[in-house]
């Protein structure tokens, strides 16, 4: 059992079980440093942080400590796409090639924006190696992305696009935005600035890395102590360095996840996996969406569409990359099988590699955000995030 830590922050009356679960994550589940936040609309009801922001446990996790959140970034990106749909710049059901003609190459002319968002486009990996410096060359990257051949018949199967999803969505936003802003800039100007967020898709040079937690891989005996949901089939592909899961998780090649806290990675806009921010910021955006506070550049009708319980287009299906059943909806995850979150099927959000999680719960008007620096190994349902959201449900 880990030593006790001091939990900082505030919890409104009635939300004490979330604080208790947060503390137990340190005592029983190997937490090094972490933060959890819950917003009721635009009002914080849980805002907690504790532990250390470095592997050696010498530097305390502060109120403004940010963490790389990997695929929890996808939720913020999906909101940017939703804002473009809300403004009439995009249509979920329109072909991507309507906005990006070159994309139609190699039989991609019928792939819709929705299929691209929901991991049905067959573009989970690229045929040639791409490194960080090439991701920063958006014009050159667009040519490479457009020339990619689908890995399966688009629209017939789904397979998680860990990194490429954001690259395609980023170019799509750059094409339709009237000022041709990048997706990271749209998020910074239209979401982060108005809501006062500490969240970046492309870390500005003026933000010190001292504010960013250092991630720590779970290794050795800690795997036996803290991990119960090991992705053995994916692990086998990673060990053998072959298979679709291996290809997708290494395309583009951005380096080991535990090395994310470095300038050359965080400064590049990677809208699927490169976001860095606070749990408070995740909860703030999702709270504004769940409570329909009018603060987001997304109209109410579209927010209701994001919260759709289920449609014929996003039923649970086997995932060719994650090797489990998944359900995607307009760029977000929905509850599927044993992976449940929120009060009902309207809840939506995204998980991130290692355990981070953010979601909106329209049934209650709550937004949830969780960040940490010990990288768990579960595919979707990290036990620490699960403990926190189950405690939140008990509060309601």
8 A C-beta contact, residue 125 and residue 247: yes
- Positive or negative, the CA dihedral 114, 270, 228, 382 is negative
State whether residue 197 is helix, strand or coil.
coil
Instruction: Burial-class residue 54 by CB neighbours within 10 Å (0-12, 13-18, 19+).
Output: middle
Catalytic: which of 13, 52, 71, 216? 71
Distances (CA, A) of 293 to 288, 296, 367: 5, 8, 12
Task: Give the tokens for residue 203.
Answer: 């870390």
8 A C-beta contact, residue 377 and residue 218: yes
**Cis preceding-peptide flag for 252 (omega within 30 of 0):** yes
Angle at 167 between CA 333 and CA 183, to 5 degrees: 85
8 A C-beta contact, residue 333 and residue 349: yes
8 A C-beta contact, residue 260 and residue 68: yes
In the block, tokens 């250092």 appear at 214
In the block, tokens 């996996």 appear at 273
Strand residues in 283-347 grouped as ranges (E): 317-318, 325-326, 328-329, 332-333
Is position 71 annotated as part of the catalytic site?
A: yes
Say which residues have a Cβ less than 8 Å from residue 130's Cβ, sequence separation at least 6. Answer: 141, 144, 251, 252, 253
- The residues that are catalytic are 71
């Amino acid at each position: 059992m880990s030593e006790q830590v001091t939990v900082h922050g505030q919890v409104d009356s009635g939300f004490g079980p979330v604080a208790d679960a947060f503390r137990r994550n340190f005592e029983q589940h190997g937490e090094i440093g972490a933060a959890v936040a819950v917003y009721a609309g635009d009002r914080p009801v849980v805002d907690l942080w504790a532990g250390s922001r470095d592997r050696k446990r010498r530097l305390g996790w502060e109120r403004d400590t940010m963490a790389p959140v990997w695929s929890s970034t996808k939720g913020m990106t999906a909101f940017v796409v939703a804002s473009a749909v809300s403004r009439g710049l995009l249509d979920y059901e329109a072909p991507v090639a309507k906005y990006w003609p070159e994309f139609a190459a190699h039989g991609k002319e019928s792939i819709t924006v929705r299929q691209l968002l929901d991991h049905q486009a067959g573009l989970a990996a690229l045929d040639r190696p791409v490194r960080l410096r090439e991701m920063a060359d958006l014009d050159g990257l667009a040519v490479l992305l457009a020339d990619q051949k689908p890995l399966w018949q688009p629209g017939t199967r789904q397979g998680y696009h860990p990194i490429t999803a954001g690259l395609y969505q980023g170019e799509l936003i750059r094409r339709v935005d009237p000022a041709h802003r990048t997706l990271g800039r749209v998020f910074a100007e239209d979401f982060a600035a108005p809501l006062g967020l500490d969240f970046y898709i492309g870390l500005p040079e003026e933000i010190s890395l001292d504010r960013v937690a250092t991630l720590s891989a779970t290794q050795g005996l800690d795997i036996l102590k803290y991990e119960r949901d090991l992705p053995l089939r994916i692990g086998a592909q990673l060990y053998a360095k072959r298979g679709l899961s291996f290809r997708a998780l290494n395309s583009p090649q951005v380096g080991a996840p535990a090395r994310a806290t470095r300038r050359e990675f965080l400064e590049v806009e990677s809208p699927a996996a490169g976001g860095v921010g606070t749990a408070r910021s995740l909860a703030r955006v999702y709270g504004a969406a769940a409570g329909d506070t009018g603060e987001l550049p997304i109209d109410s009708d579209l927010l209701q569409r994001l919260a759709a319980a289920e449609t014929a287009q996003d039923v649970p299906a086997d995932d060719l990359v994650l090797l489990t059943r998944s359900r995607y909806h307009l760029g977000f995850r929905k509850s599927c099988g044993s992976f449940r979150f929120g009060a009902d099927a309207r809840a939506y959000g995204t998980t991130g590699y290692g355990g981070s999680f953010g979601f909106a719960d329209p049934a209650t008007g709550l937004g949830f955000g969780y960040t940490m620096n010990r990288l768990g190994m579960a595919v979707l349902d990290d036990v620490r995030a699960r403990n926190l959201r189950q405690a939140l449900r008990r509060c309601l």
